[in-house]
Structure 1
């Protein structure tokens, strides 16, 4: 004990210097304990996708408008279409020989719909379609304001005068892309030569770089404050009183230099359609991006229109996307996600997992699926139900927590050995499993050994249970162990009744007894340790090829033993804990947990730490060691100043008693989409972010942390800065949201 005390003091003192700056950064991001979010309604966006038909030309939507009855009109490469308010069917508007390419559609002041097409102007009025005379075809742009209506094309400009169209003799470039009018005689026209202001028979051209970013102008819109926003190649030039006020480029959040449209929403938000989605600029200058299949049928946005409810109708190169709005509270969002979880994501015998889609992106084709980490992720579900019970005392939460715990204990029973618990189980008649049994050739084994000398060839991962009902998956990993122990801790402390606690104590003791017997490794059916289930000192301290795992795995094993000692009161676990510190340097190893060589750093490790810090800081009674773990936790949190990981934010609050990253936590819960499909997200398409190698050197990431609505469906052990991620053939379970929601409720961060 003297050695332990001396070592602990040395380690703690060494932390004073190394952690001081980091701790100060953490303190700056902490919120006062009094900070509470009172749950109130907010706007929740969601995507409703429309494909016009099986014809490619029909789906190339160039322009869009919503009339006073909320019918949606679109101009496409193959013609004009309309969808009535309560229908999903798109009907052709112009038929027969007159059907052909359409370019523009606008709702004018009297409610008529005016269309610009390959062969002229059409008007839909009082349920009748008519072709207008006096305008030379083709007509590529219709613009209207108040009582002024203009039709423009490569052969000129015409202004409506009742049912007559009068030619306007303005000398401008023929490459007309867009136009707006103030309704008072002034007409602005976007062309490949720049922006023209036409008024009283004269035209003034703006094209120099002190007037526009570039002269390739594609879009125009009025904006709040009497501004005109001009979409050009390179971004948006904001003009007022015929002077350049400001440029918005990729540096300010425009995701592509190719701007196709600019539209003002009813609440004054500016929507910029680009080749990489649509970006919205709020009045305060903040912006958000909508791109990928989560939000759009295609990233190439050509136009945006709005209905009376404020929903945005987005014309893309492959259909129409309605980005709709509903008013919701976090409690209501919780109810939605919990219903999705219970109706789809829980499979027998109470496994919480993702879904596979037989047709990627098509949620009607969902099927239950297995995952390597079904144990860990069901552990997260068990933690969630434990906090739900702690907050509500709802017997339903306790019943379901017991079912989840029952599954986790069953994973050990099905193996037929005390030395191992399975990764997962599936019904014996399942035809589709991940990592099916296979064989290796000698050549493949040689290649694998060269790539990674630690590689363990496992040909029989799936085995049938003795009762013949299940297939169980072996080769269980260290992250599964962390997930199990984390969930047992939260269940034990926040929901379990005395009879449940007795079962937890027995189960944890059985696992740790087997670990001690097997020199702290998970031993598979073949009598050898699993691929990643290694905590033995002979490997962590004695094998240089295991150096990358030494720091985290030492920390993990100390937490496992401290948990077993804390809940069982059995001295043997505490003795082993002390021995690993005194004789095997596990505490010293753990002290370097957040100072690893850059080549060994993975984001996943931060989450594993978050799983286990609450255990160590709950049960460690030695003041020096507790101070050591507290400093280690401060250092860990100092590396997460962006507040990107809610489980870590809240685990820190649980074990340190201080609220941290509260604003980020609430914003995440609000911004997370309702859509759980793991859509492919490719940030490398964007020009408003840079490709970087930080915070994880090995991975390709982007420079700015994407909002939850801008990234793939969340898993807390995945890197949120990843440049590319997502698999649209799967649907993630919503525990990633429900778990921190109920933790935040328990901690008083959210007041219902």
Structure 2
């Protein structure tokens, strides 16, 4: 009794909170956003070999069957690789190599080196009928090879010819600052001076596959079938041991493009970053196929990655976060709005967006709440009338969840036009609505409810439209009256509590103290009751909250550290064991959505200070995930430590392509894997969002692979990206675009 009395005094006494710390702010300056345009080849008609581009932006490919170029193609709408008929008289040429020389396309045949540039005046004969390799030097000097012999030519004159000692030629490159050619063999590296015509062996090795000059022609990167080497051009010595800790070690192509070294492999492409790590481009998010044949510089700050199945043009566009937000807003409005809900596009035929349909979800209310939250923050930050209209439409969709079913105060999971039940055969969840021609989905979950209260609270506080404000407060009161009236349960059409809509102490405190649901449900219901009291001022909500915290230990439940959360003890019941078999990322989502109302609408400053400790304790556990949303939610407490840089990293690194392509990372040798653990953290460091499967915030950010259903659906940016971005804008930790 004394303990509860003292706690009541503590909870009912307001104290002055310390002055908010000055928070760091990200200035939204342009960064380079990567995205891919894919061009698929008919592999029965084109056996691709090389790619090059010229100063006009023309991209051309060489196949065994002749020249090819690109047709159509834009981001998310792939083009094709088709025969190039532009210079129709070239079809009789036996072209064996294609290069970009002085930003023009130059060709090698069994007789000559020629081009259509320079008014067609380049026409230099050689003496290697089986020539297949070509590199250009200064003043239209070219080195050609048939794999066995080498010939240096200029203006149809043979300046030098020779062979490698006991090796086959597989690559040629020119070093301009020394006026010399480099020749790669399968087991050796040579150089040839243009002036002295001296062929010199520089390095002996094995299993060489491709090479490129780099670092302002001071280094040579040599790919092998098991890693790569770096050679110092001046000394001719390798700078370190062969590098094998790579995304893929069977190197098929090497090319420096705009100061960055790119590698092709039989498992995608990757680029070496300044920090020694790699940006990995695997799967059809980026490339038509994963077996890379060639890599070259492309038009307009792009990289051309030629694969056996077509061409991937990876573009790097200067963009601010606000510009990215505008593109994602278009994505949502064009393809992801269903009856006002924020929905997934599914049923795609291999990523073809025209073939999909928006699908109802068990969590329509939750995903829409998160999208709605983002639009509320967008409106609060910008007063954009489009954002306000988006809020109106989503609020109406949310309100109808309560009116489409006959249970007072009960929100449906979703609703759809009649006939949907027969299609899905899910008669346990789908019920007929009193509204003619409509059905509604029952068994609503607690994650729906906390999402509703989060969005309604934000709308009631931040939107200055009287109708929306009134609507939001009404819905808060409607839902919470249902829960309080029904003894802290969410009661379905059958008169029974839903599986997860339970906040009564008999349910909550039945979990052992280290099982997450005990802490989660306590935190969520107090947040919901606080929100209801804040906007309605009805004492029943405040009284119930203090009853749960004082009499039933919910305050103590909430304040337990995340560090104790783990598997249920051996003597726990089966439900507790099932609910604690690993870290539940859906719980994280529910916690952080609840933190808005928990902290923002705290009954007093004493509680607010305690809640801040609770939120930061949880955030500390989440930090390895670099989860942009959870970092930004943590910033509501005013703390200056919420990993702003990692939040911006999440937003900038998130792919523009949100289609569910097959993703593989588990084979990589450049990531440090961990033993299986309770948190299901697979690697020491989380991969960037554009290298891992597309996931909502309730997914495990350490998931490495996604298999099956390649290109079968597209996620909405509404909850995944727009919510954290606009929340950051509203909180002032991300600025508008800076010049």
Give 1:135's match in structure 2, choosing from 120, 128, 132.
128
CA distance in 2, matches of 1:77, 1:271: 25
Runs of at least 5 residues in structure 1 that lack an aligned partner in the other structure: 12-30, 209-213, 439-458
What do the CA deviations read for 1:303-332 (whole angstroms, capped 9, x no partner)? 211235222111112100111233333332
Q: Name the structure 2 match of 1:17.
A: none
Give 1:235's match in structure 2, choosing from 227, 234, 240.
227
Segment drifting more, 330-339 vs 178-187: 178-187
Does structure 1 conserve the Cα–Cα contact (< 8 Å) formed by 2:624 and 2:685? Answer: no
**CA root-mean-square deviation:** 3.5
Task: Tell me if 1:300 matches 2:291.
Answer: yes
Task: Tell me if 1:62 matches 2:56.
Answer: no
Does structure 2 conserve the Cα–Cα contact (< 8 Å) formed by 1:315 and 1:321? Answer: yes
Q: Name the structure 2 match of 1:418.
A: 408
Task: Tell me if 1:272 matches 2:259.
Answer: no
Shift of 1:378: 0.7
Shift of 1:164: 4.9
Distance of aligned partners of 1:429 and 1:103 in 2 relative to their CA distance in 1, 3 Å threshold: farther
Distance of aligned partners of 1:485 and 1:2 in 2 relative to their CA distance in 1, 3 Å threshold: farther
Distance of aligned partners of 1:589 and 1:482 in 2 relative to their CA distance in 1, 3 Å threshold: same
Give 1:400's match in structure 2, choosing from 390, 412, 428.
390
Give 2:616's match in structure 1, choosing from 626, 634, 639.
634
Does structure 1 conserve the Cα–Cα contact (< 8 Å) formed by 2:148 and 2:169? Answer: no
Shift of 1:487: 0.9
Q: Name the structure 1 match of 2:149.
A: 156
What do the CA deviations read for 1:213-245 (whole angstroms, capped 9, x no partner)? x65343233332622222223333222211222
Q: Name the structure 2 match of 1:540.
A: 508
What SS does the aligned partner of 1:576 have? helix
Q: Name the structure 1 match of 2:189.
A: 195
Distance of aligned partners of 1:720 and 1:101 in 2 relative to their CA distance in 1, 3 Å threshold: farther
Q: Name the structure 2 match of 1:621.
A: 603
Shift of 1:376: 0.5
Q: Name the structure 2 match of 1:4.
A: 4
CA distance in 2, matches of 1:567, 1:111: 68
Shift of 1:10: 11
Q: Name the structure 2 match of 1:442.
A: none
Shift of 1:78: 4.1
CA distance in 1, matches of 2:639, 2:103: 63
Shift of 1:135: 0.8
CA distance in 1, matches of 2:368, 2:287: 32
What do the CA deviations read for 1:244-300 (whole angstroms, capped 9, x no partner)? 22457343xx311111222122x3222222233222234565642222211111222
Distance of aligned partners of 1:217 and 1:566 in 2 relative to their CA distance in 1, 3 Å threshold: same
After TM superposition, the structure 1 = structure 2 runs for residues 447-466 of structure 1, keeping only pairs within 5 Å, are 459-466=427-434
Task: Tell me if 1:81 matches 2:73.
Answer: no
What SS does the aligned partner of 1:697 have? coil
Distance of aligned partners of 1:225 and 1:112 in 2 relative to their CA distance in 1, 3 Å threshold: closer
Shift of 1:642: 4.3
What SS does the aligned partner of 1:412 have? helix
TM-score by structure 2 length?
0.85
Q: Name the structure 2 match of 1:207.
A: 204
Shift of 1:634: 1.6
Q: Name the structure 2 match of 1:20.
A: none
CA distance in 2, matches of 1:430, 1:374: 15
Does structure 2 conserve the Cα–Cα contact (< 8 Å) formed by 1:63 and 1:104? Answer: yes
Q: Name the structure 1 match of 2:538.
A: 570
Does structure 1 conserve the Cα–Cα contact (< 8 Å) formed by 2:301 and 2:317? Answer: no
Task: Tell me if 1:291 matches 2:282.
Answer: yes
Distance of aligned partners of 1:625 and 1:698 in 2 relative to their CA distance in 1, 3 Å threshold: closer
Shift of 1:608: 1.7
Task: Tell me if 1:490 matches 2:463.
Answer: no
Does structure 2 conserve the Cα–Cα contact (< 8 Å) formed by 1:70 and 1:84? Answer: no
Distance of aligned partners of 1:8 and 1:647 in 2 relative to their CA distance in 1, 3 Å threshold: farther
Shift of 1:751: 2.5
What SS does the aligned partner of 2:428 have? coil
Distance of aligned partners of 1:308 and 1:573 in 2 relative to their CA distance in 1, 3 Å threshold: closer
Shift of 1:132: 5.7
Distance of aligned partners of 1:689 and 1:336 in 2 relative to their CA distance in 1, 3 Å threshold: same
Does structure 2 conserve the Cα–Cα contact (< 8 Å) formed by 1:260 and 1:302? Answer: yes
Give 2:163's match in structure 1, choosing from 160, 167, 170.
170
CA distance in 2, matches of 1:321, 1:673: 15
What SS does the aligned partner of 1:640 have? helix
Q: Name the structure 1 match of 2:565.
A: 596
CA distance in 2, matches of 1:104, 1:256: 27
Give 1:470's match in structure 2, choosing from 433, 438, 451.
438
Task: Tell me if 1:713 matches 2:694.
Answer: yes
CA distance in 2, matches of 1:743, 1:545: 33
Does structure 1 conserve the Cα–Cα contact (< 8 Å) formed by 2:250 and 2:265? Answer: yes
Shift of 1:574: 2.1
Give 2:333's match in structure 1, choosing from 323, 327, 342.
342
Does structure 2 conserve the Cα–Cα contact (< 8 Å) formed by 1:419 and 1:511? Answer: yes
Shift of 1:624: 4.4
What do the CA deviations read for 1:391-433 (whole angstroms, capped 9, x no partner)? 1233443343233222212112212112632111122255997
What SS does the aligned partner of 1:704 have? coil
Shift of 1:172: 3.4
Does structure 2 conserve the Cα–Cα contact (< 8 Å) formed by 1:270 and 1:280? Answer: yes
After TM superposition, the structure 1 = structure 2 runs for residues 485-524 of structure 1, keeping only pairs within 5 Å, are 485-495=453-463, 497-524=465-492
CA distance in 1, matches of 2:596, 2:324: 28
CA distance in 2, matches of 1:511, 1:636: 27
What do the CA deviations read for 1:462-515 (whole angstroms, capped 9, x no partner)? 122222232211121121112111111211121154554443333223322322
TM-score by structure 1 length?
0.84
What do the CA deviations read for 1:357-393 (whole angstroms, capped 9, x no partner)? 4313112223222222110011012211211221123
Distance of aligned partners of 1:215 and 1:207 in 2 relative to their CA distance in 1, 3 Å threshold: farther
Shift of 1:566: 2.5
Segment drifting more, 71-80 vs 611-620: 71-80
What SS does the aligned partner of 2:270 have? strand
After TM superposition, the structure 1 = structure 2 runs for residues 561-710 of structure 1, keeping only pairs within 5 Å, are 561-592=529-560, 594=562, 595-597=564-566, 599-642=581-624, 644-656=626-638, 658=640, 660-692=642-674, 697=678, 699=680, 701-710=682-691
CA distance in 2, matches of 1:541, 1:667: 39
Shift of 1:529: 2.5
What SS does the aligned partner of 1:716 have? coil
Task: Tell me if 1:365 matches 2:355.
Answer: yes
Does structure 1 conserve the Cα–Cα contact (< 8 Å) formed by 2:514 and 2:565? Answer: no
